[in-house]
């Protein structure tokens, strides 16, 4: 935050996430592992997958996002809730120092618009989220997740809160901490790259996000029952 990558509101969001992380035992639940395989299949089958990055994600898992981008050949786009040119540039140069190639979404290059959002968050890069069919949105707010979904894009969320609008609006919600979820997604993508397309299609069509979220909540309850 002192470098300007994360906004103060990001610390509050982080605290909200931590509270949920405690009630899943700060470990990856089986439901999250199933969602991660489905997410990897979605990303590998996509024509234009894009990884959307905000301040919290860059700070917590910048290197891991760069690794995922290289593994699945998907561009990274900076898309901020609290948008300023300075923060966009800071985050992009931070990711480049970690090994990212081109980073999309900066300044005037974000000339496409997501319908149904009033704020500057609606601006996206036509080479990135603008033309994407599948978008990974770690740590996202509900409005943008719903608007991207209404725009016909398949959304993969990483959100520790299984009750959030983001988790509900996504096609695949990985309920886990980004620091665990992104390396696991890279690992799953690497493994699934060797699979046939028909097997990937089956992983996608067999996945039911609402059922998986219900499974996550049951796993959280089981964990809490252990303490009670």
> Which residues form the interface with ligand PTJ (CB under 6 A)?
7, 9-10, 13-14, 16-17, 20, 54-56, 60, 80-82, 139-141, 158-161, 164, 177-178
Closer by beta carbon to ligand PTJ, 151 or else 159: 159
- Dihedral (CA of 213, 218, 220, 221) sign: positive
Q: What is the DSSP letter of 190?
A: H
CB 42 within 8 A of CB 154: yes
- In the bound state with ligand PTJ, the residue whose beta carbon lies nearer, of 18 and 206, is 18
CB of 47 to ligand PTJ, least distance (A): 26
State how far the alpha carbon of 95 is from the alpha carbons of 77, 99, 128, 138, 174, in Å.
Answer: 11, 7, 16, 16, 23
Q: Are 46 and 133 in contact (CB under 8 A)?
A: yes
Q: 69 vs 164, which CB is nearer to ligand PTJ?
A: 164
**Closest residue by beta carbon to ligand PTJ:** 17
In the complex, minimum distance from the CB of residue 201 to ligand PTJ, in angstroms, rounded to a whole number: 28
CB closer to ligand PTJ out of 120 and 199: 120
The whole-angstrom separation of Cα 39 and Cα 179 is 16
CB 148, min distance to ligand PTJ, A = 13
């Amino acid at each position: 935050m002192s470098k300007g990558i994360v906004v103060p509101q990001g610390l509050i969001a982080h605290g909200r996430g931590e509270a949920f992380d405690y009630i899943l035992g700060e470990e990856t639940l089986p439901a999250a592992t199933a969602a991660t395989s489905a997410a990897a299949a979605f990303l590998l089958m996509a024509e234009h997958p894009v990884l959307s990055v905000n301040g919290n994600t860059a700070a917590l898992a910048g290197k891991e996002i760069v690794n995922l981008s290289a593994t699945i050949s998907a561009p990274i786009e900076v898309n901020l809730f609290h948008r300023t040119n300075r923060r966009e540039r800071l985050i992009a140069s931070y990711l480049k120092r970690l090994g990212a190639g081109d980073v999309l979404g900066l300044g005037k290059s974000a000339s496409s618009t997501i319908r149904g959002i009033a704020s500057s968050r609606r601006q996206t890069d036509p080479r990135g989220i603008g033309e994407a069919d599948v978008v990974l949105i770690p740590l996202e707010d509900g409005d943008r997740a719903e608007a991207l979904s209404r725009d016909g894009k398949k959304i993969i969320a990483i959100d520790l809160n299984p009750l959030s609008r983001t988790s509900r609006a996504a096609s695949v919600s990985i309920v886990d901490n980004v620091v665990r979820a992104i390396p696991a997604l890279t690992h799953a993508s690497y493994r699934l790259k060797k699979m046939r397309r028909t097997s990937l299609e089956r992983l996608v069509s067999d996945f039911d996000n609402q059922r998986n979220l219900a499974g996550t909540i049951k796993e959280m309850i089981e964990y809490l029952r252990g303490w009670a």
